[in-house]
Amino acid sequence: MSVETRLLSHPTTQIKGTVQLTGSKSESNRALIIQALSRGVVRIENLSNAADTVIMQNSLVQAASDSDDRITINIGPAGTAMRFLTSYLTLGSAQFTLTGTNRMQERPIGILVDALSELGANIQYEKKTNYPPIKIDGGFVQTADKVSIPGNISSQYISSLLLIAPSLKKGLQLRIEGELTSRPYVTMTLNMLLEAGIKHSWTDNVIEIPAQKFLPATIFVEPDWSAASYWYAIVALSKEGTILLPGLKAHSLQGDIAIVNIMKHFGVASSFHEDGLRISKVSGGSDQKLFDFKECPDLAQTIVALAAAIKRDISITGVETLKIKETDRIAALKHEIEKFGATIIADGETYHVKTQDVYYPAQISIDTYEDHRMAMAFAPLALVFDKVIINEPLVVEKSYPEFWQHLQDHGFQTK
């Protein structure tokens, strides 16, 4: 097979071993912004080697360059970098153009730009209103300290504003309108700021962060729970499976630790030890039908692919933000599971996965839509189908560069 495809199979369907996961991309990107704002007072350990984190790191270095007063930063497909840098660059001393891939230029940024503009920032759209690329004049004079932002959009907009809040001369009072989606990610941002000495208050739907200085600190980035979710699916689909995931803790800043409770319903048990998390296939599970991904949307693809493969009807909610990710993930999931007889039926904001017509061809070919999570959510299905072809497999470098090697280390045959 060429580098444009990867053929997967697993002759024994038995899984056992240890997988050392990279640092959390979500924590790493927040830590890098905090470190930059602290002017090096904050140190980072166990930084992720994911492509998105490398892009963030390189972009921050580029932004700090004093060689030019007009700097163009291309973040490619890195959505977190686009959102976080939009706020961060307003504090710089140059004029910045922030752009990305064609898909990135289709992902809205207007709500964040409007909030920053209310604070006094000068940001212009270079092409289409509400979408990148954008032109940012650094060094803005803050004219207000209060903004409101909808809670049912990407939490990255909220985190982006909170990260720069202590560096604003007037601080920030942020009011969240309506129900908050992905609350754990906002909590993660505030807790990481607290690790660096930044205090806040959160009363009802209002978060306040006064202007203040970062204190010397070392932020240790926990391994990535999103990456762990694929090993949960692998164990669930195995005949016998036990995997140790070093460094993962029962008390995590990451919302995707929700996979522990979700996978109880699919026959995977979790136990925490000094050396990390051990997950094992067990008998049982449950017949739970409805799963809410409002606080952990990145887990939805893993669970939908798993449910379709084992012919289990489920319903999912809390996934509206998936439509503006690397691809429209709902549409992508529907298209791919239909290749072996499953489907997704929309019912308002609830989606029903129907599996009564599932069949098991000897080989299936999965498209990835430039989306790392599509590749990793469907790769475990090689434990059910004789052969699984993953198209454009290098997309995994965005968050989990060692993914294919780790599969080989645990009995998957890849070509």
Q: For a pLDDT cut of 70, what percent of the chain falls above it?
A: 98
Q: How far is 365 from 176, CA to CA, in rounded Å?
A: 42
- Reported confidence tier of residue 322, pLDDT bands at 50, 70, 90: confident
Instruction: For residue 59, give Cα distances in angstroms to 71, 96, 399.
Output: 10, 11, 17
152 or 376: which leads in pLDDT: 376
Is the pLDDT reported for residue 397 higher than 70?
yes
Give the list of residues 6+ apart from residue 2 with CB closer than 8 angstroms, or none.
none
Please report which confidence band the pLDDT of residue 316 belongs to, taking 50, 70 and 90 as the band edges.
very high
Q: What is the CA radius of gyration of the chain?
A: 21
**In this predicted structure, what is the pLDDT of residue 2?**
44
Domains 5-23+224-414 and 25-220 share a fold: yes
Task: Please tell me the predicted confidence (pLDDT) of residue 153.
Answer: 83
**Homologous superfamily in CATH for domain 5-23+224-414:** Enolpyruvate transferase domain (3.65.10.10)
CA-closest candidate to residue 380, choices 227, 267, 193:
227
pLDDT digits 0-9 by tens, 11-63: 999 999 999 999 999 999 999 999 999 999 999 999 999 999 999 999 999 99
Return mean pLDDT, the chain. Answer: 94
> Could you tell me where the beta strands, DSSP code E, fall in 122-211?
122-125, 134-137, 146-150, 172-177, 201-203, 206-209
**What is the average per-residue pLDDT within 303-312?**
98
* C-alpha 359: how far from chain center: 31
Convert the pLDDT of each residue in 241-256 to its tens digit.
Answer: 999 999 999 999 899 9
Contact by Cβ (8 Å): 29, 254: no
In CATH, the architecture of 25-220 is: Alpha-beta prism (3.65)
Model-level pTM?
Answer: 0.85
Q: Report, as an integer, the average pLDDT of 229-236.
A: 98
Tell me if 344 sits within 8 A of 327, measured CB to CB. Answer: no
- Count other Cβ atoms within 10 Å, centred on residue 127: 10
- Residue of 298, 347, 357, 386 marked active site: 298
Lowest pLDDT segment from 149-153, 173-177, 225-229 = 149-153
User: Is 298 a catalytic site residue?
Assistant: yes
Across 263-277, average pLDDT: 96
Rounded CA separation 20/177 (Å): 39
Task: Report which residue type is found at 333.
Answer: L
Query: How far is residue 338 from each of residues 146, 173, 309, measured CA to CA in Å?
Result: 47, 46, 11
The model's confidence at residue 67, banded by pLDDT at 50, 70 and 90, is low
The pLDDT assigned to 11 comes to 95
Provide the residue count of the chain. 415
Tens digit of pLDDT for each residue in 110-169? 999 999 999 999 999 999 999 999 999 998 999 999 999 998 888 899 999 999 999 999
What is the widest separation between alpha-carbon atoms in the chain?
A: 64
Domain ranges of the chain: 5-23+224-414, 25-220
Buried b (16+ CB within 10 A) or exposed e, 28-59: bbbbbbbbbbbeeebebebbbebbbbbbbbeb
Cα distances from 162 to residues 194, 206, 266, in angstroms, run 12, 12, 37
Using CA atoms, how far apart are residues 81 and 88, in angstroms rounded to an integer?
Answer: 10
